[in-house]
Amino acid sequence: MNPFFYQAKFDMSAAALEQLPSCEDAYEVAFAGRSNAGKSSAINTLTNQKSLARTSKTPGRTQLINLFSLDENRRLVDLPGYGFAKVHSSIREQWRGLLSNYIEQRECLKGVVVMMDCRHPMKDLDMQMIEWCVHLELPVHILMTKSDKLKNGPATAAMLKVRKRIAEYPDVTVQLFSALKKRGVDEIHAKLNEWYNIQAE
C-alpha cells in the first residue's frame, strides 16, 4: 500500500480541454475504459477512499473529465467511459470528442490505465484505445478488473491471453485487479509511481 495515493482530493470537472489546469510541471495519469469496467470503484480502491470517484449502477455516468489531485503537480484523471451508455447519440459524440482531444493533445499525460472486466477483456473498443495510445507513444497499463468474479485459474488464464495479444507492444503492461478484494493495489501503485516519477522509498 502507498499512503501517497490516499491524499487524493477531487479537484474539478471539465467539459472541454480549455477548462483544465496548466500542464506546466504537471504529471497526469488517465483512467479509461468501457462504461461498465469498474473505473470509479478502482480509483476509490487505489486511493483508499469510499466515494472519491462517483460510482453508479448505471454505466456511463462519467460525462466529464474529472481530475483528482495527489499533490501540487500530480493528478489522476477519470475520463468519460466509452461503450454503450444509454444516452442520446449527440451526447455520446460529445464525450468521444472530449476523450479524443484529451488523449491526443494533453501534453502532461504520462500514461493511460485502460480498464476492462476480466471476464470480457479486449473488446474492439478496448483494442482501439490501446492501439491509439501506442500510436501516440503513450504507455498503457491494462487493469483487468472484477477478478474476484473468476477463480484464480481462469483469471490468470484470461490475463495470459491478454498478455499474448499485446506482446508486440513493449509499452503495454497488464495485471489483474479486484476493488472488492483489494487485489493488485500494490502493483498499480508501482506503475503509477513510475509514471509520476516518484522514487520508491
pLDDT tens readout for residues 134-167: 999 999 999 999 999 999 999 999 999 999 999 9
CA angle (118 as vertex; 8, 196 as ends), nearest 5:
30
Kind of pairing between the strands at 140-145 and 109-117: parallel
pTM of the model: 0.91
> pLDDT confidence of 95, banded at 50, 70, 90?
low
Count of residues for the chain?
201
Q: What is the spatial distance between Cα 9 and Cα 65, in angstroms, rounded to a whole number? A: 15
Q: What is the spatial distance between Cα 169 and Cα 166, in angstroms, rounded to a whole number? A: 6
SS3 label, residue 110? strand
Helix (H) or strand (E) holding 104: helix 89-105
With 0-12 CB in 10 A as exposed, 13-18 as middle and 19+ as buried, what is 45?
buried
Residue whose C-alpha is closest to residue 156's, from 175, 181, 170: 175
Q: Under CATH, to which class is 3-195 assigned?
A: alpha beta
Q: What is the spatial distance between Cα 94 and Cα 90, in angstroms, rounded to a whole number? A: 6
Domain boundaries, the chain: 3-195
Cross-strand pairs, 34? 82
SS3 label, residue 51? coil
> pLDDT confidence of 55, banded at 50, 70, 90?
low
DSSP label at residue 32: E
Cross-strand pairs, 12? 67
> pLDDT confidence of 170, banded at 50, 70, 90?
very high
> pLDDT confidence of 130, banded at 50, 70, 90?
very high
